[in-house]
């Protein structure tokens, strides 16, 4: 129905030319072998899996959806999902970035993000099964005992089992402090877990032999609120001492949701009825433990925005090239044909360039953030690791919040390029719009990302990450001040980053005087920050293209994209500035 070609050229440009990933990664602890050849080869293989195995299952999987059998509490995934998961597991993709001690390949996180982009473009619904596993693996890597890691983590890394993250309950969404699931100690040191979780991705399916649920629950003596939550491992099948599967645990899917999109992803109601579970990490510290892996999960959801936007863009560009309709305003461009193609229309080019600008700048932001996570984990010294960690903390809400919101605009514009044909199911565009809608909601809504950025990263942490990032942009502007090829971008970027600083300072003062100002400004502040951040990466991409070995057409395309963005998108910051300054007084109480 739709096409998909792995965007390897732009991925490579972003990794190696724009971000200098090879020089950075090979200097990191354990990174001597992470040179360009290796990364290139892995990307290429991931591209094949995405194009040949995953992409063809995307639309049929949406049409078929998942099936739930009430009698057996089992879920059947759409045709082709099982085979794709088998190919994924056999290719070693489940353990790409996991530690070697657990059977992983310990490859850089940024490569994991780049390959994830490809798999998510191929089939977003399918990609949620390995994504949730990755989250569970991170949690067990960081907080599990050696025995827990051996028993539950290794089979996931080997691609034999999958994992879930069971947080949400009917009354506890953004506010997990409200959760009620209980954990009663058993005599043998295990716990009996009882409660209902909703919206659990990959809670039940037929892709793997076993499912390891990571469940947030309360111990009997737990204090109320978010400080009284502990984390438990609850396997679908209990595991015998030799690692073989034992009895069925009392953790069953009670239903699957009928959703607007990602229909191939099983979103389950999970009933835990005295299920056997094991405490992971410290009692009452479960939420904090979940937060240690939240950055990785949020970054991956940001990548979902990029992945959908990329595939939607490819299709709309292709369609605009082939669809003949009307004539150019200045006279026929293809007089030998019955009509010109859509590309001759400036308004169609506007829609395409909007997508291209967001796709390419989002890719740079996401890969940059992922590279910082590698430096944070394996940088040469403490100061380097700390600095990278501050950048990650600051950029995550932008990478998740803004990129997922922009995916709404990109998929909408991509559909619009098709005209009425975009509204028709078989053409595949409406699926991108529907699938994209979830990504601004799960893993923290946009409102929660905005509150995190302004409340925690700017105010609580006193803007340490902001100052570091704004300083980096300032240094970039200074370094290219005399560069004629960048003249059109450096002055507006410098002005925008200066205004960003002033706005941040003024806002911090207002919030101190009245805390309600935080909530009133947060989302507009998120948008403002996003538009300036993406402008920086587009200006950097022009500089990198000019310095690189790419051909003239590639360089011109990068310049065109940045020119479009600086003239037509960056001014959106002014609207958000006005909204921020309007303050809470313009959001009166609603009776
Ligand atoms: C398809 C799907 C898959 C999911 N997968 C999983 C999963 O695998 N595991 C899991 O545990 N959960 C999962 N979720 C749950 C998801 O993470 C929650 O839906 C999400 O966290 C929001 O919670 P809520 O739906 O209760 O919305 P609410 O928390 O009720 O929020 C409603 C609205 O109020 C706003 N709001 C709430 N609080 C604040 C605040 N403090 N400041 C500003 N605005 C606020 C929100 O931004 C939102 O717009 C999934 C959900 C869906 C739909």
**pLDDT tens, position by position, 463-473:** 999 999 999 99
CA-168 nearest atom, ligand 1: 11
Q: How many Å apart are CA 446 and CA 439, to the nearest integer?
A: 9
**Which residue shows structure tokens 């560069």?**
483
Torsion of CA 568, 569, 573, 578, to 10 degrees: 60
User: Tens of pLDDT along 265-318?
Assistant: 999 999 999 999 999 999 999 998 888 788 899 999 999 999 999 999 999 999
How far does Cα 300 stand from its chain's mean position?
3
H runs (alpha helix) in 452-515: 464-479, 487-513
Q: Is 438 in the pocket of ligand 1 (CB under 6 A)?
A: yes
Q: How many CB atoms lie within 10 A of CB 174?
A: 12
* φ/ψ of residue 169, rounded to 5: -130, 165
Q: Is 216 within 8 Å of 166 (Cβ atoms)? A: yes
Cα(334) to centroid of ligand 1, in Å?
51
268, β-bridge pairs: 200, 256
Cα(229) to centroid of ligand 1, in Å?
18
* φ/ψ of residue 321, rounded to 5: -70, -35
**Which residue shows structure tokens 């205004």?**
499
Cα(176) to centroid of ligand 1, in Å?
10
Q: Which residue of 203, 445, 446, 584 sits with most ligand 1 atoms within 8 Å of its CB, as the best mutation to test the pocket? A: 445
Average pLDDT over residues 126-144: 93
CA-175 nearest atom, ligand 1: 29
Q: Angle 109-122/346-378 helices, nearest 10 degrees?
A: 140
Q: How many Å apart are CA 308 and CA 370, to the nearest integer?
A: 19
Cα(357) to centroid of ligand 1, in Å?
29
Q: Is 131 in the pocket of ligand 1 (CB under 6 A)?
A: no
Q: Is 167 in the pocket of ligand 1 (CB under 6 A)?
A: yes
Q: How many Å apart are CA 460 and CA 144, to the nearest integer?
A: 29
pLDDT the model gives residue 532: 99
The residue contributing the CA closest to ligand 1 atom 25 is 173
Q: Is 34 within 8 Å of 16 (Cβ atoms)? A: no
Q: How many Å apart are CA 389 and CA 386, to the nearest integer?
A: 5
When pLDDT is cut at 50, 70 and 90, the band that residue 1 belongs to is confident
CA-202 nearest atom, ligand 1: 8
Q: How many Å apart are CA 177 and CA 189, to the nearest integer?
A: 25
Active centre residues (catalytic): 443
Q: How many Å apart are CA 365 and CA 391, to the nearest integer?
A: 11
User: Tens of pLDDT along 391-448?
Assistant: 999 999 999 999 999 999 999 999 999 999 999 999 999 999 999 999 999 999 999 9
Mapped onto helix, strand or coil, the DSSP state of residue 98 is coil
Residue 252: pLDDT over 90? yes
Mapped onto helix, strand or coil, the DSSP state of residue 35 is coil
Q: Is 168 in the pocket of ligand 1 (CB under 6 A)?
A: yes
Cα(39) to centroid of ligand 1, in Å?
36
Q: How many Å apart are CA 97 and CA 232, to the nearest integer?
A: 24
pLDDT the model gives residue 293: 81
Cα(262) to centroid of ligand 1, in Å?
16
Q: Which residue of 175, 181, 301, 441 sits with most ligand 1 atoms within 8 Å of its CB, as the best mutation to test the pocket? A: 441
């Amino acid at each position: 129905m739709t096409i998909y070609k792995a965007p390897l050229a732009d991925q490579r440009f972003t990794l190696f030319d724009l971000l200098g990933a090879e020089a950075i990664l090979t200097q990191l602890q354990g990174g001597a072998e992470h040179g360009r050849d290796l990364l290139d080869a892995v990307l290429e293989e991931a591209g094949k899996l995405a194009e040949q195995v995953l992409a063809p299952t995307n639309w049929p999987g949406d049409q078929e959806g998942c099936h739930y059998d009430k009698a057996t509490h089992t879920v059947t995934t759409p045709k082709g999902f099982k085979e794709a998961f088998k190919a994924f597991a056999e290719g070693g993709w489940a353990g790409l970035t996991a530690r070697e001690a657990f059977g992983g390949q310990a490859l850089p996180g940024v490569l994991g993000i780049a390959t994830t982009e490809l798999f998510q473009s191929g089939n977003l619904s399918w990609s949620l099964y390995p994504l949730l596993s990755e989250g569970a693996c991170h949690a067990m890597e960081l907080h599990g005992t050696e025995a827990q890691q051996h028993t539950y983590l290794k089979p996931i890394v080997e691609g034999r089992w999958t994992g879930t993250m069971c947080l949400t309950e009917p009354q506890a969404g953004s506010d997990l402090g409200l959760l009620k699931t209980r954990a009663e100690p058993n005599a043998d040191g295990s716990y009996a877990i009882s409660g209902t979780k909703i919206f659990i991705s990959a809670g039940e399916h037929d892709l793997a032999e076993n499912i390891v649920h990571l469940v947030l629950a309360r111990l009997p003596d737990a204090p109320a609120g978010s400080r009284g939550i502990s984390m438990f491992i609850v396997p679908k099948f209990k595991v015998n001492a030799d690692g073989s599967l034992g009895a069925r645990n009392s953790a069953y899917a009670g239903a699957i949701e009928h959703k607007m999109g990602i229909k191939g992803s099983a979103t389950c109601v999970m009933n835990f009825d005295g299920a056997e579970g094991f405490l992971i990490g410290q009692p009452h510290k479960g939420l904090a433990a979940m937060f240690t892996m939240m950055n990785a999960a949020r970054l991956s959801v940001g990548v979902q925005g990029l992945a959908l936007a990329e595939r939607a863009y490819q299709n709309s560009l292709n369609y605009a090239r082939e669809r003949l309709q009307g004539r150019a305003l200045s006279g026929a461009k293809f007089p030998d044909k019955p009509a010109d193609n859509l590309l001759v229309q400036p308004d169609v080019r506007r829609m395409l360039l909007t997508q291209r600008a967001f796709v390419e700048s989002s890719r740079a932001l996401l890969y940059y953030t992922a590279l910082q996570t590698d430096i944070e984990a394996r940088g040469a010294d403490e100061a380097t690791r700390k600095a990278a960690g501050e950048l990650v903390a600051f950029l995550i809400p932008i990478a998740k919040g803004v990129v997922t919101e922009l995916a709404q605009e990109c998929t909408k514009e991509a559909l619009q390029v098709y005209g009425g044909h975009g509204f028709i199911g078989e053409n595949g565009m409406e699926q991108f719009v529907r699938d994209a809608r979830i990504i601004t909601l799960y893993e923290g809504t946009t409102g929660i990302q905005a509150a995190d950025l302004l409340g925690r990263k700017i105010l609580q942490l006193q803007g340490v990450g902001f100052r570091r990032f704004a300083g980096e942009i300032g240094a970039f502007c200074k370094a290219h001040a005399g560069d004629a090829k960048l003249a059109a971008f450096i002055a507006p970027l410098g002005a925008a980053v200066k205004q960003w600083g002033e706005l941040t300072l003024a806002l911090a003062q207002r919030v101190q005087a009245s805390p309600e100002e935080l909530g009133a400004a947060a989302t507009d502040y998120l948008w403002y920050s996003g538009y300036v951040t993406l402008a920086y990466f587009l200006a950097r991409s022009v500089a990198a293209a000019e310095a690189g070995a790419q051909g003239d057409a590639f360089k011109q395309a990068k310049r065109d994209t940045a020119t479009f963005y600086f003239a037509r998108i960056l001014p959106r910051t002014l609207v958000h500035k006005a909204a921020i300054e309007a303050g809470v007084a313009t959001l009166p109480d609603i009776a």
